[in-house]
Chains A and B, each alone.
Chain A
Amino acid sequence: KAGVTQTPRYLIKTRGQQVTLSCSPISGHRSVSWYQQTPGQGLQFLFEYFSETQRNKGNFPGRFSGRQFSNSRSEMNVSTLELGDSALYLCASSPARTSGRPTDTQYFGPGTRLTVL
């Protein structure tokens, strides 16, 4: 079974631009979560989508948004990019919504490395 794929793998943008990142989950997985990883803050939760609806959200400004399509593929958008948005953006998929059950294992993709100049 193919793993989680993310495109593009690397991206360079300038301040003020916007960017869209794409995530294709493992076949059959309906939950997609997005994370931002930086050396200073570590891995931080952005949001989770399940059945095309945002189910949970982290503490990020409204410039960060996302959506999920009927085939479970997800996109994340960042508008008005800032230098501090430079990070590795990771997507993770699981069969069900994130809950207290560890059996809902999340499988991470390789990430998109975003550099904002």
Chain B
Amino acid sequence: QKEVEQDPGPLSVPEGAIVSLNCTYSNSAFQYFMWYRQYSRKGPELLMYTYSSGNKEDGRFTAQVDKSSKYISLFIRDSQPSDSATYLCAKRNDKIIFGKGTRLHILP
């Protein structure tokens, strides 16, 4: 079992909808969780990080962690076509372990 599992999608939603992206992880010996966004032909860029159970909000983005079920989520409100990208979840201790990424398409 991979340490971080993520549905590859693609996930297509209409503009303005709420997007929910999810990951599960298998090893509890880590400290932080992160979400990266990767546009085509670009490197990943850090969107958000969190380490505690609960929600962390940043603009239209909310990261949620449930340590009891080993589940992490990213919610995007009022989705825009510019949000179309691949979203990677990751966990981090002395190195970063990434999920395979979910391709998201926001339909105008």
Contacts and interface: CB of A to CB of B under 8 A. Distances in A.
Interface of A: 4, 33, 35, 41-45, 48, 56, 58, 90, 92, 98-102, 105-111
Interface string B31-68: 11010000001111110010100000000000000000
B43 A110 contact: yes
B25 interface: no
B72 interface: no
A52 to B, nearest CB: 19
Interface of B: 30-32, 34, 41-46, 49, 51, 88, 92-101
A44 B88 CA distance: 12
B49 A43 contact: no
Contacts, number: 57
Nearest to A43: B98
A107 to B, nearest CB: 8
Contacts of A90: 43-44
A60 to B, nearest CB: 13
A40 B80 CA distance: 28
